[in-house]
Chain A
Amino acid sequence: MTDLTTTTGAAVRPAARADPPARRISKHALLIVFGVVMIYPLLWMVSSSVKPTEVIFRDPSIWPREFDLGNYTGGWTALEHPFQHYLWNSAVIAIASIVGNLLSCSLAAYAFARLEFRGRRILFAAMLATMMLPIHVLIVPQYVLFSQLDWINTSLPLIVPKFLATDAFFIFLMVQFIRSLPRELDEAARMDGCGHVRIYWRIIMPLSVPALATSALFTFIWTWNDFFSQLIFLTNPDLYTVPVALRSFMDGQGETAWGQLFAMSVVGLAPIFGFFLAGQRYLTQGLATTGLK
Chain B
Amino acid sequence: MSDRTGSRTARSGPRRRETRVAYGFLTPWIVGMVVFTIGPILASLYLSFTDYTLLSPPEWLGLENYQRMLEDSRLHKSLLVTVQYVFVSVPLQLALALGLAMLLNRGVRGLPIYRSVYYLPSLLAGSVSIAILWRQIFGSEGLVNQLLAKVGVEGVSWVSHPDYALGTLVVLNAWTFGAPMVIFLAGLRQIPSMYYEAASVDGAGAVSQFFRITIPLLTPIIFFNLILQMIGAFQSFTQAFVVSGGSGGPADSTLLYTLYLYERGFGSFEMGYASALAWTLLVIIAVLTGLNFLFAKRWVFYGD
Residues of A bordering B, CB below 8 Å: 3-4, 6-17, 19, 27-28, 30-31, 34-35, 38-39, 41-42, 44-45, 56-60, 103-105, 107-108, 110-111, 115-118, 120, 123, 126-127, 130, 132-145, 147, 161, 163-166, 171, 179, 195-196, 200, 221-222, 224-225, 227-228, 231-232, 242-244, 246-247, 250-251, 254, 258, 261-262, 265-266, 268-269, 272-273, 276, 280, 283-284, 287-292
CA distance A75 to B78 in the complex (A): 35
Please name the residue on chain A nearest to B241 by beta carbon.
A227
Contact yes or no, A16 B238, CB < 8 A: no
Contact yes or no, B278 A139, CB < 8 A: yes
Q: Which residues of B contact A222 (CB under 8 A)?
A: 126
Contact yes or no, A136 B209, CB < 8 A: no
Known: A104-B28, A265-B129. A60 touches B143 (CB 8 A): yes
CA distance A38 to B205 in the complex (A): 31
Contact yes or no, B237 A227, CB < 8 A: yes
Contact yes or no, A288 B106, CB < 8 A: no
CA distance A20 to B40 in the complex (A): 60
Contact yes or no, B32 A136, CB < 8 A: no
Q: Which residues of B contact A41 (CB under 8 A)?
A: 133, 137, 143
Contact yes or no, A140 B132, CB < 8 A: no
Q: Which residues of B contact A103 (CB under 8 A)?
A: 28
CA distance A44 to B126 in the complex (A): 18
Contact yes or no, A292 B190, CB < 8 A: yes
Q: List 25 A-B contacts (CB under 8 A).
A: A7-B200, A8-B196, A8-B197, A13-B107, A31-B100, A42-B120, A56-B136, A104-B32, A105-B29, A134-B282, A134-B285, A145-B40, A179-B1, A225-B126, A227-B128, A227-B237, A228-B237, A246-B128, A251-B246, A268-B127, A272-B124, A288-B182, A291-B183, A291-B225, A292-B183
Q: Which residues of A contact B192 (CB under 8 A)?
A: 11
Q: Which residues of B contact A60 (CB under 8 A)?
A: 143, 146-147, 150
Q: What total count of A-B pairs have CB within 8 Å?
A: 316
Task: Check B67 for interface membership: any CB of A closer than 8 A.
Answer: no
Please name the residue on chain A nearest to B142 by beta carbon.
A57
Of residues A163, A164, A269, which shows the largest number of chain B Cβ atoms within 10 Å of its Cβ?
A164
Q: Which residues of A contact B294 (CB under 8 A)?
A: none
Q: Which residues of A contact B120 (CB under 8 A)?
A: 39, 42, 273, 276
Closest 6 CB pairs of A and B: A164-B32, A16-B107, A288-B186, A11-B193, A291-B183, A265-B129
Of residues A56, A134, A250, A280, which shows the largest number of chain B Cβ atoms within 10 Å of its Cβ?
A134
9 further contact pairs, Cβ within 8 A, besides A57-B142, A140-B44, A265-B133:
A12-B193, A45-B133, A138-B40, A138-B44, A164-B29, A225-B238, A266-B129, A272-B127, A291-B186
Q: Which residues of A contact B44 (CB under 8 A)?
A: 137-138, 140-141
Contact yes or no, B221 A137, CB < 8 A: no
Contact yes or no, A8 B143, CB < 8 A: no
Contact yes or no, A11 B196, CB < 8 A: yes
Please name the residue on chain B nearest to A254 by beta carbon.
B132
Q: Which residues of B contact A247 (CB under 8 A)?
A: 128, 242
CB distance from B110 to the nearest CB of A (A): 8
Contact yes or no, A117 B19, CB < 8 A: yes
Task: Check B15 for interface membership: any CB of A closer than 8 A.
Answer: yes
Q: Which residues of A contact B133 (CB under 8 A)?
A: 41-42, 45, 262, 265
Task: Check B235 for interface membership: any CB of A closer than 8 A.
Answer: yes
Q: Which residues of B contact A59 (CB under 8 A)?
A: 146
Known: A58-B146, A117-B23. A141 touches B275 (CB 8 A): yes
Contact yes or no, A10 B106, CB < 8 A: yes
Known: A59-B146, A137-B281, A144-B43. A116 touches B28 (CB 8 A): no
Task: Check B211 for interface membership: any CB of A closer than 8 A.
Answer: no
Contact yes or no, A165 B32, CB < 8 A: yes
**A140, A224, A261: which contacts B278 (Cβ < 8 A)?**
A140
Q: Which residues of A contact B179 (CB under 8 A)?
A: 287
Known: A14-B107, A265-B132, A269-B124. A163 touches B28 (CB 8 A): yes
CA distance A16 to B183 in the complex (A): 21
Known: A7-B196, A38-B175. A134 touches B121 (CB 8 A): no
Q: Which residues of B contact A224 (CB under 8 A)?
A: 127
Task: Check B159 for interface membership: any CB of A closer than 8 A.
Answer: no
Contact yes or no, A118 B19, CB < 8 A: yes
Please name the residue on chain B nearest to A11 by beta carbon.
B193
Contact with A along B250-291 (1 / 0, CB 8 A): 000000001001100110000100110011011001000100
Task: Check B231 for interface membership: any CB of A closer than 8 A.
Answer: yes
Known: A4-B200, A287-B179. A276 touches B123 (CB 8 A): yes
Contact yes or no, B187 A291, CB < 8 A: yes
CA distance A134 to B115 in the complex (A): 29
Task: Check B302 for interface membership: any CB of A closer than 8 A.
Answer: no
**B40, B103, B117, B241: which contacts A141 (Cβ < 8 A)?**
B40
CA distance A228 to B154 in the complex (A): 35
Contact yes or no, A140 B105, CB < 8 A: no
Contact yes or no, A164 B132, CB < 8 A: no
